[in-house]
Amino acid sequence: MAISVVDTVSSRSSAGGVTSIAQATGGITAGNLVVVLTYAGAASSITLSAPTDDIGTTYNVLNNPTWSATCHSLCMIAWAQPTGTPATITGHVSATSDMAIVVYEISGCSSSPYDVSNNTETASTAAPPTGAITTTQASEILITGVTQDGATSVATAPSGFTIGPKNDDATLEVYASAHQIVSTIQTAFNPTWAYGSARNCDAAIAAFKEGSAGGSPVRPIAMWP
């Protein structure tokens, strides 16, 4: 079976702020690719750390953006191929923050699925770029996330991407996720998100390879209590 998204779920924190956010997955098939996007926003310095699950899976962090006075919101991508069936995945941040978590479950990927990733923090923009990537094979799935310092703006996915879980509530940091399955090598590909107003943004992207014999479908799961 070709690479595909199996499911997606999402959850967000209350405006009061938390240091972790957990989400039930709904059941993940052992060996499928799980991509976790963790989002956090706070007025003072914070650091995201790798997500965890209830069966002890180690998640590989692809980008860990740095909080700054110009960008209060962070978006981190991590991945794993659990050998069991995690029921809950939890995102973590170093201090009280608004948080969200998005989980994609994807089938049909290689047993060594990670290809390339990038992350870009941009001050005062309505069109945050993810950062350019060049993939190494034709058949891949691209996962992207973005967060914008609290605003009334609505996020629009980059051209060719399917929008996933998102939050447009101005009382919290504005976040979104999206994916695209490609069939040609992407060279210096730098997708751009769109917002209705300019704010400080953090965007990330990661590419994962299809297995040589196809694979199981992709399922995104997002979380933000």
**Distance between CA atoms of residues 50 and 68, nearest Å:** 20
- Over residues 36-50, the pLDDT tens digits come to 999 988 878 899 999
Give the pLDDT band (50/70/90) at residue 216: very low
Name the nearest CA neighbour of 141 among 220, 200, 27. 220
Q: Give pTM, 2 decimals.
A: 0.91
Torsion angle of C-alpha atoms 87, 93, 96, 97, degrees rounded to 10: -90
- Over residues 57-95, the pLDDT tens digits come to 999 999 888 888 777 889 999 999 999 999 999 999 999
| Domain range annotation of the chain | 4-223
